[in-house]
Every structure is written in structure tokens, then in C-alpha cells.
Chain A
């Protein structure tokens, strides 16, 4: 008689097969990424292209600086557009300064300081239509450097720019490789072209010390206080002595924190916004080497900062670049800088740049546009007006005119009468 298979036998069979085949089960995980190969150009040739050109349309609007009747608008990595804003109702696009790799700028007197990848370029802007490059401080922003490995720099020793190659583009191709699941962590391959050097600083003085500084937007990474230009890199604060205005000399680099974003000057203090907090530096006692005097930490977020004598105004947003997840305006009492205290939080949509003129606070709130508040009582901001003209990034408000950088243009609002704030002009960009 045929015997029925018993349950225990089947269970044994299952366990045996499981034991035998488990080792055969391998995961197949592949990663597809892009390999970029740099295209080089000789530095001399590269620098020859850095000069004024006829005015051209704005592709993408970047950082903004206001210097008297002129607006300087950076187009990221391209250069700086110059506008004659004598009549804010009808600004005129007068020239374009071609500066490959440019992102930031600051102006003091008749000198414009702008980055060109890793270099700090000094321009004479006596005639904003015909700007002339006067000096190149080489590789002072190593985070953005594009010099090839063959670049050999030694502190204080001039080098031949013909011997240096710079990267002016890339050719790319995709590749797929087996991927180790255990290595699923961020890869810091580092900048393949970065070389950390001390800049050239031995040039003879050629100009007097400037004393009039232009106004930067709150997202700026360059700032000038008295005879010093301060810049922030990804994790550092660098000071340049600009006593000799056309030959800035690097005096110190202070390590701050990972992912520094903005710098804002107020009297003899610098407010540095990073993605995990605001840092305050004193530049009065030792302007060549800023000293940390206070800090206020917050959750991870992008955070431009401005300040007045009593309060710092910090916007936090959830841009993916900062890996953030909050959208807030933080107001912090900084009367005791060694012990800053949060006063009030306001929930916003996606706040970025901001500006304050008297008791009027201007906040660029992403797709919600420009929000204008009466900030006489920081515990109870009262909205005066909101403009939904565009996705706004940054604003400079002074002398009754608020100049706003937005996704699709530059907007100018007249707020001289707070009961009748209105748009007076718009400069269109090609980007929407």
C-alpha cells in the first residue's frame, strides 16, 4: 500500500531546498553615472575674455548689487549685467561684463570685486560701460577653482599664466558599473582641479582706499567693511585687505562650518548664514582676522540673514541643495551677541532673500512673491502688501525703491508711500 507523504517530510524538504538555494540568491545592483572629461584652455587666453561687452539680454538672474544709479546683476557663471537706473521707472541695460564662472561681487568706490571661478578679479568701474580688469588674484576661491593639476603656485611669486590651463567645459559620457550596496553613502570625490594656494599679494599700491560701499542683496557671498573684503566659501570666511583697492591681499581664512551660504555686514559685524545656523563675527578689533563672537543654530535649511541693531532676521527654506525641510522666518534677538535668543518664528512658503528699511521688512517668499511687513513689533509682523508677480529670490530696499530679483526678471517697486506700494518697472529675463 502506498504511503501518504507525511507533513514532516515535506517540511524537511522545504528546509533542505531553502538551505541549498539561499546562497545562490545574489542581488544585482548597478549604478549609472556620468564621467566628465574637462576641456582646457590656457589661462592667458581665458583672462582675455574677461572684459566689458555690449549690453545683452539676461538669461538667468543671479546676485544683485546697487551702486548709486547703477544696478549690477550677476548672471550665474556668465558675467555681470550693468543697468543705468537713474530713472527706476525705466532702467537701461547699458553693458555686460563677461566673467566666466562669476557668481558674486562687491563694490567699493570705483572698484568692483568679482569671482571668476577660483580667481578674484578686480575691475575699475569708473566707466561702467567700459569696465577694465585690473588684477587677478589667482585661485583664492579653491572651492570654485578650475585650474588643472599642472598649475604651480607659490605664495608671493608670480607665475606665467601661459603655463596654466583652466577648464572651460566638459565632454561627458554615461557609464554603468556594479554597485556595492554597502557603499550607499555620499561620495566626496573632491574637486578634481582644486589646489589650495596662497594668492599673489605683492603688488604695489595703485589706488586710494575706497570709502563708499555699494549695497548687496542678502544672498551675497561677498561683503565689504571699511578696508576689507570678506567672502565666504563652502566652509570658510576669507578676509582680503583692500587698502590697495586694485590689489586685494588675502589676510586670513577662517574655517566656519559645512555649507556656508551668505554673508551680511552690519557696522563692525559680519553675519554669516550657514545651513545649520547663523554665525556672528567681529571685525572691529582685528579686521584682518574676523573673530567669532556668537552663533545661533537652527535646523538644517538654506538661510540668508540680515540684521539691525537689535534683531537678526533669518529665512529658512527647504531647497534641496541645503537638504532642509522647513520654511520659516526666524527673528533672533542679538542685543547680547554671545547669547542670541529666538524671539519669534513665522511660517512662510519658501522664503529666500530679504531686506529691511526702517521698520519695513521685505521678504522674497518663493512662489508667493514679495511680502512686505511692518516690523515695528517683531512679535507681531503686520503684512502691508504682497506681490505675486513671480518667484522671488532676493531684494534690496533702499531710498523708497525695492529692487527684486525674480525667476523671470528684475522688478522695481516704489514703497515711498507705504499705503501705495506699486510696481514701477520690470526688466525681463529669458528664463521663466
Chain B
């Protein structure tokens, strides 16, 4: 619920910022960043895919992202993305910061059939990094990014020992996963220039 509220706030903020660009019409742009990547950590290598969509103002970008993360357990990260570009060339560096939650969506293979009432709770997700953006024409960019990503999950299940005395107190055990990974992404960013709402109303049809 908190996450939903945060996302709503980000979307509203983006809309307000864009709506206030009366003096610089056309500066507010919708961008879509879509990437695939590799997650490298103690568990091994895993694939990830992400789609981030949001608004860009000047060198700043804010968007909402969703993806699939296959590191140790398959999860769906849902997050807010902030990024800042450096320089004015077609090719330039950028920094990004993602924060949100990731929801477990375990594969059949990952489900622990021997644990009773096994349940994974959604946990914190973050990804911080630097990247390089290569211009491919006016509206398209190739992105390369390298960062650090943390995925947290909590697994809860009934502790039970078949050979315990019958009144041995039953309880739930839990395992906290703090999964630290290096993330390498390659992506494609495209933009769609939009005019402020007020301006679009005034524009001749």
C-alpha cells in the first residue's frame, strides 16, 4: 500500500512538474527505458529484464519500473527510478537510483515442497549505478549500465520435526535473504516528446 502511494506521488509530481513548464513548452518528455541484464553475486549469475517509463525534464528523469529478477528466487521488482544525465552530447554518462519492493513469484522448481506453509513476503529492492548512453538518432539511445542491486526477501514456514514429542511447541521459522548483486544492463531508451496539457488544448486542430 505504501509502495502504491509512493508511485502515485511520483506520477503526480511528474505531471505537475511537466504541467508547470509554461515558459518552456515541449521540454517535458515521456521516456521509456527497457533493458535486459545480468545479476552477478554469491549465488551465481541470473537474468533480469526491466521496463521503466516516466517523464524527463532537462537532465532529470523520474519513472516507474517493473521487471523480472531471476536471482536465487524469481521475483517481480516494482520500483521508482530516478536518473540524472551528465553532459549535452549525444553520448553521455548518467547515474540512476531505483527503490521499491520485489514480490516473490517462485517457479515450481523454487517452491520448497518439503516446507510446510512456506510463504515468501515482499521485500525491499534497490539498484544504484552508473551508465553510459549512446545516441542512436534523435529519439533512441543504447544504454549500458553497471550498478549494485539489493534484493530482500523473507521466507516463513512452519517449523516441524516429525520426531518431536507430540506437544513440542510449534512455531514459525523464517529466513531473511539479503541478496547483494552486481548488475550489468544493456537497454534501449526511446522518447516521445509531449506538449504541456494546457498548450495542447490551445493548439489548433
B67 at the interface (CB under 8 A from A): no
**Given the interface contacts A27-B180, A31-B175, A323-B116, does A167 sit within 8 Å of B166 by beta carbon?**
no
- Docked complex: A18-63 residues within 8 A CB-CB of B: 18, 21-22, 25-34, 36
Binds A, one of B12-20, B40-48, B100-108: B40-48
- Docked complex: B163-185 residues within 8 A CB-CB of A: 163-169, 171, 173-182, 184
Binds A, one of B3-11, B56-64, B76-84, B154-162: B154-162
**Given the interface contacts A4-B91, A25-B40, A186-B114, does A18 sit within 8 Å of B182 by beta carbon?**
yes
Find the A residue at minimum CB distance from B159.
Answer: A33
A143 at the interface (CB under 8 A from B): yes
By the criterion CB–CB under 8 Å, are B165 and A146 in contact? yes
Q: Cβ of A77: which chain B residues have Cβ within 8 Å of it?
A: 166-167
By the criterion CB–CB under 8 Å, are B168 and A36 in contact? yes
- Docked complex: A158-209 residues within 8 A CB-CB of B: 167, 170, 172, 179, 181, 184-191, 193-194
B199 at the interface (CB under 8 A from A): no
B132 at the interface (CB under 8 A from A): yes
By the criterion CB–CB under 8 Å, are B165 and A193 in contact? yes
A143 to B113, CA, bound (A): 24
A184 to B41, CA, bound (A): 18
**Given the interface contacts A25-B40, A36-B168, A77-B167, does A189 sit within 8 Å of B175 by beta carbon?**
no
Choose among B158, B163, B171 the residue with the greatest number of A CB atoms under 10 Å from its CB.
B163
Q: Cβ of B72: which chain A residues have Cβ within 8 Å of it?
A: 27, 181
By the criterion CB–CB under 8 Å, are A179 and B175 in contact? yes
A145 to B167, CA, bound (A): 11
Q: What is the 8 Å Cβ interface bit string for chain B, positions 109-129, against chain A (1 contact, 0 not)?
A: 000111111000000000000
B134 at the interface (CB under 8 A from A): yes
B146 at the interface (CB under 8 A from A): yes
By the criterion CB–CB under 8 Å, are B169 and A36 in contact? yes
Q: A184 CB to closest chain B CB, in angstroms?
A: 7
Find the A residue at minimum CB distance from B134.
Answer: A7
B144 at the interface (CB under 8 A from A): yes
By the criterion CB–CB under 8 Å, are B175 and A27 in contact? no
A144 to B42, CA, bound (A): 41
Find the B residue at minimum CB distance from A169.
Answer: B167
**Given the interface contacts A22-B182, A28-B180, A34-B171, does A190 sit within 8 Å of B163 by beta carbon?**
yes
By the criterion CB–CB under 8 Å, are A234 and B162 in contact? yes
A144 to B171, CA, bound (A): 18
By the criterion CB–CB under 8 Å, are B146 and A18 in contact? yes
**Given the interface contacts A4-B91, A25-B41, A77-B166, does A188 sit within 8 Å of B175 by beta carbon?**
no
By the criterion CB–CB under 8 Å, are B132 and A144 in contact? no
Number of chain A residues whose Cβ lies closer than 8 Å to a Cβ of chain B: 50
Number of chain B residues whose Cβ lies closer than 8 Å to a Cβ of chain A: 41
Residue in contact with B169 in the complex, picked from A143, A172, A188, CB distance below 8 Å: A172
**Given the interface contacts A22-B40, A170-B168, does A32 sit within 8 Å of B162 by beta carbon?**
no
Residue in contact with B112 in the complex, picked from A26, A184, A194, CB distance below 8 Å: A184
By the criterion CB–CB under 8 Å, are A14 and B169 in contact? no
A259 at the interface (CB under 8 A from B): yes
A1 at the interface (CB under 8 A from B): no
A179 to B153, CA, bound (A): 14
Residue in contact with B146 in the complex, picked from A14, A29, A36, CB distance below 8 Å: A14
Q: Cβ of A172: which chain B residues have Cβ within 8 Å of it?
A: 169, 171
**Given the interface contacts A26-B180, A29-B178, A190-B163, does A321 sit within 8 Å of B116 by beta carbon?**
yes
**Given the interface contacts A31-B174, A167-B165, does A320 sit within 8 Å of B117 by beta carbon?**
yes
Choose among B158, B165, B174, B184 the residue with the greatest number of A CB atoms under 10 Å from its CB.
B165
By the criterion CB–CB under 8 Å, are A117 and B162 in contact? no
Q: Cβ of A323: which chain B residues have Cβ within 8 Å of it?
A: 113-114, 116
Choose among B148, B168, B181 the residue with the greatest number of A CB atoms under 10 Å from its CB.
B168
By the criterion CB–CB under 8 Å, are A18 and B166 in contact? no
A352 to B62, CA, bound (A): 56
A365 at the interface (CB under 8 A from B): no
Q: Cβ of B165: which chain A residues have Cβ within 8 Å of it?
A: 101, 117, 144-146, 167, 191, 193
**Given the interface contacts A7-B134, A179-B175, does A170 sit within 8 Å of B169 by beta carbon?**
yes
Q: Cβ of B175: which chain A residues have Cβ within 8 Å of it?
A: 29-32, 179
Q: Cβ of A5: which chain B residues have Cβ within 8 Å of it?
A: 91
Residue in contact with A32 in the complex, picked from B134, B167, B176, CB distance below 8 Å: B176
| Pairs of residues from A and B, 8 with the lowest C-beta to C-beta distance, nearest first | A28-B178, A191-B163, A25-B41, A27-B42, A33-B173, A320-B116, A22-B40, A25-B180
Name 20 interchain pairs, CB-CB below 8 A, sorted by A: A10-B132, A18-B182, A18-B184, A22-B182, A25-B40, A26-B42, A26-B180, A29-B175, A32-B175, A33-B159, A144-B165, A144-B166, A167-B165, A181-B43, A186-B114, A190-B163, A191-B163, A321-B160, A323-B113, A323-B116
Other 13 A-B pairs with CB < 8 A, given A29-B176, A186-B114, A188-B162: A7-B134, A25-B182, A27-B180, A31-B174, A32-B174, A34-B169, A34-B173, A36-B168, A101-B165, A185-B114, A194-B163, A320-B117, A320-B158
